[in-house]
Amino acid sequence: MTNPFLTVANVRLIEQQVKKILSAKSSSKDPEVLNAVKGLAVAEIKEKLPNATAEILHAISNISDRTDAELFKESLKRYTIPFKTISEKGLQKLFRKDKKLKLPKLEMVDWHSISYLSWLDSGTHRQYIVIEKDGAFVALRGVSQPQYATKGICAICNQHGAVHLFTATVKGNADMYTSYSNYICDDVETCNAHVTDYEKLEAFVARNLV
Ligand SMILES: [Zn+2]
């Protein structure tokens, strides 16, 4: 039994490459084109994930249709390190200053498919974000501004899509408050599917906590 060694973001990166293979497959009948795309996919994964095993790289080169891709994605699950499970109590502790904290439905969360946990209180428009850093949780709270919904680049996953303004307010020295606003994806699930670089996610949270 192999120990899980891929983060969810690592898995998303691999999936992105698999998607490129499938789209090359559907747009060209030339086997050489397909092989070239596979070569690039493998090279990219090797470069960004030096710990990817030969078995994984081999499986990627053998993908030739959607069924292979699905089976391969399924096979990655056993190597995936899920997001550290957090309980309702744990969340209450993280956001202890928040009176009447509205909690997400934790039983609905697929811990194997998220790089960060986020939910919105539609009453107060507060949006909560939790990431993991060095085995601990880091919590960020901001205000989601759906009135500023638009299309743009998300500050978390860096993909283009439907975004809204997220504003975090930080108390600095001498009771001065500073607000930081960023556009982030409207849909947390879609965003999580696009997070391939955990460091960028950490940097986003850190920027808003300062
Ligand atoms: Zn996003």
pLDDT per residue as tens digits for the range 112-137 = 999 999 999 999 999 999 999 999 99
If asked whether residues 187 and 96 sit together in one domain, one would say yes
Containing domain of residue 131, as a range? 88-209
Position 1 scores a pLDDT of: 60
Q: How far is the CA of 10 from the centre of ligand 1 (A)?
A: 16
69 plus 95 within the same structural domain: no
- Find the 44 Cα to ligand 1 centroid distance in Å: 22
Residue 209 has a pLDDT of 86
Residue 75 has pLDDT above 70, yes or no: yes
Please check whether residue 133 is in contact with residue 209, taking contact to mean a CB–CB distance below 8 angstroms: no
Give the whole-number percent of the chain exceeding pLDDT 90. 84
Q: How far is 118 from 187, CA to CA, in rounded Å? A: 10
Query: How many A from CA of 191 to the centre of ligand 1?
Result: 4
pLDDT band at 146 (very low <50, low <70, confident <90, very high): confident
Model confidence pLDDT, tens digit, residues 15-55 = 999 999 999 999 988 999 999 999 999 999 999 999 999 99
Q: Please give the distance, rounded to the nearest whole angstrom, from the Cα atom of residue 190 to the centre of ligand 1.
A: 7
**69 CA → ligand 1 middle, Å:** 24
CA of 32 to the centre of ligand 1 (A): 34
pTM: 0.90
175 has pLDDT over 80: no
Q: Is the model more confident about 149 or about 56? A: 56
Average pLDDT, the chain: 93
Across the range 186-200, mean pLDDT stands at 95
Residue 3 lies in a domain: no
75 with 146, same domain: the answer is no
Ramachandran angles phi, psi of 47, nearest 5°: -70, -45
Cα 35 to ligand 1 centre (Å): 31
CA of 8 to the centre of ligand 1 (A): 15
CA of 151 to the centre of ligand 1 (A): 11
| Final residue of a structural domain among 79, 97, 113 | 79
Cβ atoms 120, 107 nearer than 8 A: no
Name the domain count of the chain: 2
CA 30 to ligand 1 centroid distance, Å: 34
How many Å apart are CA 45 and CA 69, to the nearest integer? Answer: 16
Are the CB atoms for 18 and 73 separated by under 8 Å? yes
